[in-house]
Amino acid sequence: MTSLFRVFRTPFRADLDLIDMIVQACVFLHNYLLLTENARYTPTGFIDSYDNTGALVEGFWRDKSVGNRNASYVAKATRDTLKNHVNSETGSVSWQHAHVTDAGIVLQ
């Protein structure tokens, strides 16, 4: 998504509800543009796909990243802040624990 929507290239400075709406809007727009078969949006080979044997074929969007692929300190701090929020009493959702437990992941 960062290679397609510039809004994801810098840390968000907004409350979590607004961030949620921004992410949803980008996903909806992304899905709409895929459905319209807009070649300028997703040229052939740009996004990841699967071949006829089920093997992953990596798209060339991966080549669009700037610099190395290591996350910056700010990105890691933002990730950790969001992780802590969604795993807290105030940030978790009712189905979250059951979904993660069903996936075989043990919450600590």
Q: Where are the domains of the chain?
A: 1-69, 71-108
Enter the pTM of the model: 0.42
Residue 66 confidence (pLDDT):
43
User: What's the chain's Rg over C-alpha atoms?
Assistant: 17
Mind listing the pLDDT tens digit for each residue in 18-60? Answer: 999 999 999 888 888 877 766 666 777 877 888 899 899 988 8
Q: Say whether 95 sits in a helix, a strand or coil.
A: coil
Which one has a higher pLDDT value, 85 or 100? Answer: 85
Q: How many CB atoms lie within 10 A of CB 46?
A: 17
All residues at 6 or more sequence positions from 96 whose CB lies less than 8 Å from its CB, including other chains: 86
